[in-house]
Amino acid sequence: MKKLLLYILLCSTTAVQATAPAQARRSSTKFAHHILLTAGGGIGSLGYDNPYGNAYPAYTWSAGLGYTWFFVPETGIQTGVQLSRIGSTATLTGTYTWPQMLTDASGDAYEHRMAFTNWHEQQEAYLLEIPLGFTLRHYVRTGDNGDRSRAGVHAALGAKLQIPLFAGYTHRTGSVSHTGYYPYWDLTLHDLPGRFVTEQTDAPQTGSLLQHLRRWNAAVYMELGTTIRCSAHTELIITAYGQYTVTDMLATPLNRQSDLGFGNNTNGYTFMPEYRGLIGTKAIAAMHPWMAGLKLGLSIWTGKTEQQKIRQLRQLAEDYPEYLPVIERRDTVYIIDSVCPEFSPRMERIER
């Protein structure tokens, strides 16, 4: 059986070699396995509304390692793992009044107010993403021999599982001033020792926001661009991409949300709360991050070309000549009998 199989393969490779063009070809485009390396960048946002100012998009980037299985020549399933960075820039302006009245040491009631001046806060989150979706590619056929062009169309559509790995905020510029307003006397106090002071004046400050984010999130994504075949094994993919988180990434329940980042321990006149970031406060109701940009990918086909299979079979024939079948040659020779022509022509089979 081994002799017959090797013999058939050798005969088929000889026929392929005689008809194949000089350029390397893939032996099959169906059930093809690809390794995908990607890197991209653009803009994105954590996707929240800021009632005390504005929220602006920030730069984003992503890098990943993927796998694509083409179960038909132009349609496949892709998955993998990606690391993405997404963020927003928030500004806070105006005056915020504490929702409840407080009392000082004398038992007099007052309102705790905060005035934000040129306050800028940068928030960012790093996400581990696991995509699962469909990918499409189409190369236009050119010429009479059915060759495909080197450039084609690439598209992808699917969903992602998002897991926050790190999230934090950084304050770089701006200040917040604490004041106490006594409605009984229509009096505002400020800049008192230990109370009603101006703080965070252009002083960098960082903090963690990971505890405010949901552990598991779902997003949808799409890609559209071009694919360029560089060789029989590699393709360069250039696409525009976009994605949107359909679940609410903010995990802090309403009863645990703080008043503009200052916690709830404000029942004493000596307590001067510390700012803890905009995320996770009652100012933000929901978060639906999004990002968009350009992505560059390198698709590596793991199969073998026709030329590689021919070389492999030739090497097998050289390494295991004992498995090659012995082909017996049979010729038919016609012999004319000159003595008795009536018996001519007479055929004899001579084996050699």
Tell me which residue of 40, 38, 42, 39 sits closest to 293, measured CA to CA. Answer: 42
Predicted pLDDT at 220: 98
Query: How high is the pLDDT of residue 132?
Result: 97
Residue 66 has which token pair? 């993927």
In a domain, residue 252? The reply is yes
In a domain, 79, yes or no: yes
Q: What is the pLDDT of residue 97?
A: 81
Categorize the per-residue pLDDT at 123 as very low, low, confident or very high, splitting at 50, 70 and 90.
very high
Residue 319 counted as domain residue: no
Domain assignment present for 318: no
The pTM (predicted TM-score) of the whole model is 0.72
Whether 166 maps to a domain, the answer reads yes
Contact by Cβ (8 Å): 243, 290: yes
Q: Is residue 331 in a domain?
A: no
The answer to the question of residue 210 being in a domain is yes
Q: How high is the pLDDT of residue 349? A: 46
Residue 316 has pLDDT above 50, yes or no: yes
What pLDDT does residue 299 have?
92
SS3 for the chain, per residue?
CHHHHHHHHHHHHHHHHHHCCCCCCECCCCCEEEEEEEEEEEEEECCCCCCCEEEEEEEEEEEEEEEEEEEECCEEEEEEEEEEEEEEEEEEEEEEECCCCEECCCCCEEEEEEEEEEEEEEEEEEEEEEEEEEEEEEEEEECCCCEEEEEEEEEEEEEEEEEEEEEEEEEEEEEEEEEEEECCCCEEEECECCECCEECCCCCEEEECHHHECCCEEEEEEEEEEEEECCCCEEEEEEEEEEEECCCCECCCHHHCECCCCCCCCCCCCCCCCCCCCCCECCCCCCCCEEEEEEEEEEEECCCEHHHHHHHHHHHHHHCHHHCCCCCCEEEEEECCCCCHHHCCEEEEEEC
Minimum mean pLDDT range among 6-20, 113-127, 161-175, 214-228: 6-20
The domain that holds 182 is classified in CATH as: 2.40.160.20
pLDDT score for 266 = 45
Listed range (167-181, 203-217, 326-340) with the worst mean pLDDT: 326-340
Residue 127 has pLDDT above 50, yes or no: yes
Q: How confident is the model at residue 327 (pLDDT cuts 50, 70, 90)?
A: low
Judge whether 314 lies within some domain. Answer: no
- Please write the tens of the pLDDT for every residue from 73-91: 889 999 999 999 999 999 9
What's the farthest any 2 CA atoms get from each other in the chain? Answer: 151
Domain containing residue 35 = 28-303
- Name, in order, each residue with C-beta under 8 angstroms of 25's C-beta and a sequence gap of 6 or more: 232, 305, 306, 307
The pLDDT score that the predictor gives to residue 318 is 65
Our count of domains for the chain comes to 1
User: Residue 182 above 60 pLDDT?
Assistant: yes
